[in-house]
Amino acid sequence: MEYQDFLKQKHILSKPDGFDASIQNSIMFDWQRDITKWALKKGKAAIFADCGLGKTPMQLEFARQVSEHTGMPVLILAPLAVAKQTQREGVKFGIDVNVCRSQKDVVIGVNITNYEMLSHFDASAFSGIVLDESSILKHKDSKTRILITDSFTETPFKLCCTATPAPNDFMELGTHSEFLGIMKQTEMLATFFVHDGGDTSKWRLKGHAEKAFFEWVASWACCTTRPQDLGYEQCGYDLPPLKIHEVIVKNDELVRDDGQFMFVSSVSQTLQERRGARRSSLSKRVQAASDIANSTDEQVLVWCDLNSESDALKHSINGAVEVKGADDSDYKSEQMENFTLGNVRALVSKPSIAGWGMNWQQCNKVIFVGLSDSFEAYYQAVRRCWRFGQTKTVDVYIVISDAEGAVKLNIERKQRDAQRMTHELIKRTSAILAGDIKATMRMTENYFATENMMIPQFAEVGA
């Protein structure tokens, strides 16, 4: 049996399980309306769209349509502080959004809360669930992913939205597929992937299954970095220039653990070595970052990785507000909202806390006081400011010690790998998606009557 015949026998493509919708929202672009209609027709779908392409209005329209269709409430789960931002976007697009903290706050219509509040809700009360920044599902063994997936197993309508569904490997798409109820990750791996050599933790696509895999992905996920990927001509969707500035400070730690003196700092290789180099250069990196931040009156977004960095930056940068993990959720949300509104000049935080979902196009200066090894965290942190809708050149300053070279090289390698993966995914799925999305557009033709219709006598009322 040929592999394609085997897949057909298994009905491998995701079948539509939704409804036809009429979207009259004039504020949305045509391609946003078409993608939303496509997702509603699917019933369970994912929108993997780049930052600034309008995932928020698409997910809001999806949620509104599902609630009206079912007469039940729909829940959106979002990162911290994104709920208020989404509510403001709802006003812009004419959609009421109810920010809630527990089940007793829920109304019929569109409801939104933070992921941290999920335990306060009854999943069975909702006809639809939308995950904003759904890459939270990416970690297959995380308690959060398991809780979300298990809680909404029976929910009839589901939508995932993120710009980074699989930054490291295509196999990461399996957690989205499993949440949506399309195919379990283990089944996806068995169907399309094979172990890479003797390493059972690494998988690669089977050569003969590549075409079928991308067709399968295109049957439930819309992947795009710009409207033109799907055949739409849309002016204004061009990113402004991004300038990366590397600022290297000298590490004074020239004595090794064995007591030997070094004339130059050695480049750290292991995680432990890099953390040691970061701590020993902390004061110089903070000073360099503060000099950059204090050289302007404009807003500055400052990312760090260590608590000690965060505290030192707060005291060194003029007008800085620190958002840290120990702060309560209300304080974090309030300060992130203040930065959005321009009431805070400099925000200091970690990408893991504030690096997801926020739209900060009003800021075009970003400072990293050191880098972690996570490309996704770096990408998302940069994209808070460098996104569609940004009108200025975005300057990103990476402040590291001369002993941390391996971190920057690692991030650059991961960025190249992620870009290749994204381009491959779009190249393999765009033609299928373009046809599928436009197939959901209702074909209409204007008709003008030119003659009066004669109604037979037997059809007349009272005849």
Any domain includes 445: no
Looking up tokens 């000099």 gives 291
Provide the pLDDT for residue 199: 59
419 in any annotated domain: no
pLDDT at 200: 54
Instruction: Kindly state whether residue 458 falls inside one of the protein's structural domains.
Output: no
Q: What is the mean pLDDT of residues 214-240?
A: 87
Name the range with the highest mean pLDDT among 219-223, 404-408, 412-416, 446-450: 219-223
pLDDT band of residue 197 (cuts 50, 70, 90) is low
User: Are 403 and 277 found together in one domain?
Assistant: yes
Lowest mean pLDDT among 2-16, 83-97, 174-188: 2-16
pLDDT at 444 over 60: no
Q: Domain check: are 45 and 173 in the same one?
A: yes
Query: Is residue 148 in some structural domain?
Result: yes
* Structural domain harbouring 258: 242-412
Q: How confident is the model at residue 124 (pLDDT cuts 50, 70, 90)?
A: very high
Kindly state whether residue 444 falls inside one of the protein's structural domains: no
Q: Are the beta carbons of 428 and 224 closer than 8 angstroms?
A: no
User: 187 and 264: one domain?
Assistant: no
- Which of 392, 412, 432 is the last residue in one of the domains? 412
Average pLDDT, integer, range 210-236: 88
Same domain, 288 and 386: yes
Mean pLDDT of 396-418: 80
User: Are residue 148 and residue 224 in the same domain, yes or no?
Assistant: yes
Highest mean pLDDT: which range of 66-75, 234-243, 328-337: 66-75
Looking at the structure, tell me whether residues 309 and 374 fall in a common domain. Answer: yes
Confidence class for position 3, pLDDT limits 50, 70, 90: low
Which of these ranges, 4-8, 28-32, 75-79, 110-114, has the smallest mean pLDDT? 4-8
Yes or no: say if 219 and 211 are a contact pair by the CB < 8 Å rule.
no
Q: What is the CATH number of the domain that holds 88?
A: 3.40.50.10810
Q: Would you say residue 207 has pLDDT above 90? A: no
Average pLDDT over the chain, rounded to an integer: 85
Please check whether residues 310 and 228 belong to one and the same domain: no
Q: Is residue 420 part of a domain?
A: no
Of residues 455 and 48, the one with the higher pLDDT is 48
Number of domains in the chain: 2
> pLDDT tier at 418 (50, 70, 90 boundaries)?
confident
Tens digit of each residue's pLDDT (9 = 90 or more) over 58-110: 999 999 999 999 999 999 999 988 999 999 999 999 999 999 999 999 999 99
- In degrees rounded to 5, what are phi and psi of residue 411? -65, -45
Instruction: Give yes or no: residues 337 and 229 share one domain.
Output: no
User: pLDDT tens digit string along 249-289?
Assistant: 987 654 444 444 444 444 545 666 667 777 888 999 999 99
Q: What is the CATH number of the domain that holds 248?
A: 3.40.50.300
d(CA 316, CA 295): 12
Residue where a domain stops, chosen among 192, 207, 236 = 236
Please classify residue 267 by burial: count the beta carbons closer than 10 Å to its beta carbon, then call 0-12 exposed, 13-18 middle and 19+ buried.
middle
Split at pLDDT 50, 70, 90, the class of 407 is low
User: Which of 236, 253, 274 finishes a domain?
Assistant: 236
Q: Say whether both 147 and 255 belong to one domain.
A: no
- Please say whether the dihedral angle defined by the alpha carbons of residues 106, 108, 114 and 120, taken in this order, is positive or negative: positive
Residue 332 confidence (pLDDT) above 90: yes
Above pLDDT 70, what percent of the chain? Answer: 84
Position 158 scores a pLDDT of 98
The model scores a pTM over 0.85: no
345, 330 contact by CB (below 8 A): no
- Strand-by-strand arrangement of the 97-99 sheet: 97-99, 110-114, 74-78, 128-132, 157-161, 44-49, 221-224
Q: In the prediction, which pLDDT does 161 show?
A: 96
Query: Which of these ranges, 25-39, 52-66, 169-183, 401-415, has the smallest mean pLDDT?
Result: 401-415
The pLDDT assigned to 143 comes to 87
389 against 106, higher pLDDT: 106
- 90 located within any domain: yes
Please give the average per-residue pLDDT across 122-142, as a whole number: 89
Residues 148 and 207 in one domain: yes
Considering the domain architecture, whether residues 131 and 263 belong to the same structural domain is answered as no
Task: Label residue 188 exposed, middle or buried (CB < 10 Å: 0-12, 13-18, 19+).
Answer: buried
SS3 of the chain: the string is CCHHHHHHHCCCCCCCCCCCCCCCCCCCCHHHHHHHHHHHHHCEEEEEECCCCCHHHHHHHHHHHHHHHHCCCEEEEECCCHHHHHHHHHHHCCCCEEECCCHHHCCCCEEEEEHHHHHHCCHHHCCEEEEECHHHHCCCCCHHHHHHHHHCCCCCEEEEECCCCCCCCHHHHHHHHHHHCCCCHHHHHHHHEEEECCEEEEEEECHHHHHHHHHHHHCCEEEECCHHHHCCCCCCCCCCCEEEEEEEECCCCCECCCCCECCCCCCCCCHHHHHHHHHHCHHHHHHHHHHHHCCCCCCEEEECCCHHHHHHHHHHCCCEEECCCCCCHHHHHHHHHHHHCCCCCEEEECHHHHCCCCCCCCCCEEEEECCCCCHHHHHHHHHCCCCCCCCCCEEEEEEEECCCHHHHHHHHHHHHHHHHHHHHHHHHHHHHHHHHHHHCCCCCCCCCCCCCCCCCHHHCCCC
Same domain, 218 and 250: no
